[in-house]
Amino acid sequence: MSEPFLNYISGRWLSARSGRTFANHNPANGDHLGDYPASGPEDVNDAVAAATHAFKSWRLTPAPKRAEIVFRAGEIIRERKEDLARAMTREMGKILVETRGDVQEGIDMAYLAAGEGRRMYGVTTPSEMPNKWAMSVRAPIGVAGIITPWNFPFAIPSWKLMPALVAGNTAVFKPAGDTPEMAWHFSKIFEEAGLPPGVLNLVFGSGSQVGSPMVEHPGIHVISFTGSTDVGLQIAGRGGALGKRISLEMGGKNAIIVMEDADLALATDAIVWSAFGTTGQRCTACSRVLVHEQVHDRLAEKVAARAKQLKLGDGLDAATEVGPLVNAKQVETVEAYVAIGKGEGSLVAGGARASGGALAKGHFHQPTVFAAVKHDARIAVEEIFGPVLAMVKVRSLEEAVQVNNASRYGLSSSIFTADVNRAFAAMRDLETGIVYVNHGTTGAETHLPFGGTRGTGNGHREAGHTMLDPFTEWKSIYVDFSGRLQRAQIDNA
């Protein structure tokens, strides 16, 4: 490793003030990939001070100029796509096709967010008084605290940081402890693209030592968080009490509904990809199938057959279809749920760790399918975040919708049917932030809003035409050019 991995504060690459570090490992084989600053509240203070200072000039930099830097970052990401994808596979395990997709989302988001720099539309509207002008414009909020998970370690920081910076905010960025390297590349690229010092500040370290102090810090005005529902709600509580804006993207328990008239071969492809892609560790992963009782057994057989054939291994190997889980703790969680599942449904595929041969040093678990699971069984209700699928029988579309909507979470849902009437009823009635028809639960595109209902979110949406909403305040401006006192509702009555 030629260059050390350091925090990026005020345009300088720095160790943690304490000098402490933590190690990053490859989950496929345990290789040591590097050491990173184990920062603390004092480093957060430095980063907030830098971001506060930089905000003074960044907010006055014309938005199209801010956006050009984001665009240039997009160009650099595109040039380095393959290297970044390989580094990501080494760091968190998902297979190369998927890490390429993750980086591509960063490129797409850069171009999309850069375009916003020349739009960022406000509203002008007639005043109710003569000789008076009225308009609303977007204003940046100030310093944004960005806290991200490890499962989309390039895409998620892109969704947050690119719009935040285009809008004129400065940022303090704390990436997940399992994927520091991708955050380091992200920040290096923005430095290279010409971002002024202090606009983006990167602080490595744990949730308790860096994340929590960011939530508490009075100099941070908005927190954008993606991660588990438990941590997100804690942040909402603390940050909310301090009067901060808190934008949350949290857990999921996404369902694919399969009706008796569906194309079962297509549904099988979609289920296998949605349930076992990224080893089940996507926020939009399908972890329950709500299938019409007439086709339950046939579909379970098809899905199980495919799950058993999936090739586990190092994601850098082109033959691998399912990589490792991100760390040992995730494997333990999956094992615990599989043990619970054995009492809740019929195990039709997988059901154990995978540790033979080349897998010995990695965190692997077999793709696992339970059939005939009750809709309220723990494995059909709780987020597992691993390669475990529960198939639940339903008797009608109405029942499927009701079971879907009873979940604590509401990120994405999907329906397979050949009946256009049922498809439209489902589009209307499924209460999730994203609904797919004849498509799995994953595959969001950056130019549509992304986010979920209930325990998945708190009303914000990332990306799409909503991308600036979490990071801007609306400012309404009235200009009176009548030259006399006009008293709106009073003179207007």
Residues within the interface to ligand NAP (CB under 6 A): 147-152, 174, 176-177, 206-208, 211-212, 215, 226-228, 231, 234-235, 249-252, 283, 383, 385, 411, 452, 456
In order of 25, 73, 249, the CA distances from 177 in angstroms are 10, 24, 18
Give the position of tokens 């994601």.
Answer: 315
DSSP string, 198-255: TSEEE----IIIIIHHHHH-TT--EEEEES-HHHHHHHHHHHHHTT-EEEEE----EE
Out of 105, 283, 286, 321, the active site residue is: 283
The span from the CA of 148 to the CA of 232, in Å, is 11
Q: Should residue 99 be labelled a site residue for Mg ion when binding is judged by CB under 5 A?
A: no
Give the position of tokens 């739009």.
Answer: 119
Element (H, E) at 102: helix 96-116
Interacting residue with Mg ion among 5, 8, 9, 24 (CB under 5 A):
24
CB of 100 to ligand NAP, least distance (A): 18
Out of 181, 249, 321, 383, the active site residue is: 249
Q: Which stretch binds Mg ion (CB under 5 A): 25-33, 185-193, 316-324, 362-370?
A: 25-33
Contact between 150 and 231 (Cβ < 8 Å) = no
DSSP string, 349-412: E--SB--SGGGTTS--B--EEEES--TTSHHHHS---SSEEEEEEESSHHHHHHHHHTSSEESE
Per-residue HEC secondary structure of 6-66 comes to: CEEECCEEECCCCCCEEEEECCCCCCEEEEEECCCHHHHHHHHHHHHHHHHHHCCCCHHHH
List the interface residues with Mg ion, window 175-204 (CB under 5 A): 178
Residue 127 or 201 having the CB closest to ligand NAP: 201
The span from the CA of 190 to the CA of 398, in Å, is 49
Residue 286: active-site member: no
When CB distances are held under 5 to 8 angstroms depending on the partner's kind, the choice from Mg ion, ligand NAP, none that residue 235 binds is ligand NAP
Residue 116: active-site member: no
Residue 234 or 346 having the CB closest to ligand NAP: 234
When CB distances are held under 5 to 8 angstroms depending on the partner's kind, the choice from ligand NAP, Mg ion, none that residue 354 binds is none
Q: Which stretch binds Mg ion (CB under 5 A): 22-30, 129-137, 204-212, 463-471?
A: 22-30
When CB distances are held under 5 to 8 angstroms depending on the partner's kind, the choice from ligand NAP, Mg ion, none that residue 215 binds is ligand NAP
Residue 24 or 151 having the CB closest to Mg ion: 24
The span from the CA of 203 to the CA of 408, in Å, is 32
Residue 76 or 381 having the CB closest to ligand NAP: 381
When CB distances are held under 5 to 8 angstroms depending on the partner's kind, the choice from Mg ion, ligand NAP, none that residue 24 binds is Mg ion
CB of 99 to Mg ion, least distance (A): 13
Residue 7 or 24 having the CB closest to Mg ion: 24
Residue 178 or 314 having the CB closest to Mg ion: 178
Sites of contact with Mg ion (CB under 5 A): 24-25, 91, 178
Q: Which residues are catalytic?
A: 249, 283
